[in-house]
Structure 1
Amino acid sequence: MSTANVTEVTAAFQKVMTGLNDDVERLGDLAAIRSSLMPPSAVSESSENSDPNARNAGAPINPVKAQLLQIESAIKSMEERVDTLTMVVEDEKLAEANLKKTRDEAAAMQQMLKEAVKNLPKKLPGDVNASGAAAPFSPASTGAASLPSQLSPSESSTASSVRTLENPPAISLVTEKELSSLDRSARGRVTIGALNDAVSSINACLLEKYQQLSQASKGKKTKKFQQFVVDHRETVTEEHEGRPFVSEQHLRDSCAFFRSGESTAKSILGILRNLKKIKQIQGKGGRVTYCVL
């Protein structure tokens, strides 16, 4: 049901409710006039009959009162339906907003990947490994060996750590077998589709980071490059052991799975840690990074 149709249905229900309320008010006025015209004994009898538990089983029911009871029951039923419809409308609006947000994020990610592929060199050293599988992208193969000559002394150590990363691996996608090997308590309610979407997002962040760092070999020092250098220098530790890594803040800023909720994001990262695909490292100032294993 589209939002426009839901709005029309809601308006129709509201119109019906308004009409019913007017009818109830008119019937109430008629009942009040009738009570004023009835003798006291009749009013007393009517009051006794107002309580179903106090009324004798064989006592007659006043026709006006019976109609009022029927209308009251109909109004309650209508109110319940209106409440249910209102909840459905709100849920549909929320689902539509979430769908639009996800679609926009997917389009942005697709555009970023297109730009990344466009900037890749036409041929990479060691494109095919011994097993015949394609080797992952290597910042070192794009000329990162000349990084120190392009950077200031304060950035030279950072560039050196990037230069030593030969063929930094991407995180492999999670298989059904790997996921089923974990206890249900460790898996939670995360699906394999959500896991692999997150893996693709993390790999895209890694690719973006090391491409920016490798731009120094071409003499390009953009503001984004400078930010990646600062972030890399402030988070790199000996515990990384020269392996590629990305900061948690970078993931928060770039990955859709973090925007789906903190608990979901932590569950996804926890599963990847349990599968030995990434390692969480806490560095200077408590800054958290995730290293590819």
Structure 2
Amino acid sequence: NMRGSKVSIRVAERGEKRALMERANENASQALTRIKSSRINSIDIRTEAMNEISKALGMKESPLRIECYDISNTVDGSYQVASMVVFEDGIARPSEYRHFVIRGENGVGKLDDLSAVYETIFRRFKHSDSNVESENLNNSAIVADSNQNRRFAYKPQLIIIDGAKEQAKSAKRAMLDAGISGITVCGLAKKLEEVWLPDEDYPIILKRSSEGLYLLQRARDESHRFAITYHRKCRRKGALHSAFDTIPGIGEVYRKRLLSSFGSLKELKKASLEDLQKVNGIGESKAKTIFDALHSETAGS
């Protein structure tokens, strides 16, 4: 090595050196935030990024609207959802974000990744599925078909799929089957940050310092965050509903009230009898039934 001898690395665990290390980490984090903010706020840098993407992907125009999709589910495929995030002029537009619950032909979901991508893109361009959610304050409003059509009327110039060539091919096939053409599709693979076009045998490699790659990464990472957040919400709801299945006298109305009051099964199990009785419509007897069921050996397993 360059030093010519062994090098030891020590990590401070306490005292002044620990405090110094923490300050250095905080300063570095703040500097990174400032750099990212300057790249987002600069119209020149955003224009450069979109032009780089357009040139690299062989597009006829810059991607003023970009939509990025990601799939999220448990290991066994349960609670399978997809996210759609939107970037316009290089800036994220959360009001345009959408969630999709993956159903499959049997209504259960648990599709393989390619099939889940196909269903998501096909539904997005068919405008016919009202089971799409908008990220608003309570994150629970179902978008009506008329509103969904209005929101989806503006087609993107570029669609990014979190994945590689096969995911991009599946997305393109879904668009063609939905009667849509003229939109560029690419996959962005996490491991090597390779950009894949559905009809190319080799990936496009953008420079690590490229503003275009940075924009693609931001869209991909945001879609992943959005998908994971919604997946966890669905999983918490599922766990709560499963716990209620064994409780007599607790129907959908009380499930919603308890979920609204406590937010998760974990928090519900922490609730005392007095806390449960604060929920509208739950008296002492019903509160005791819920409490006993949630703290029985069966519920604990």
TM-score (norm 2): 0.24
**Which protein is richer in helix relative to its size?**
1
**Which protein is richer in strand relative to its size?**
2
Indicate the structure (1 or 2) with the bigger Cα radius of gyration. 1
TM-score (norm 1): 0.24
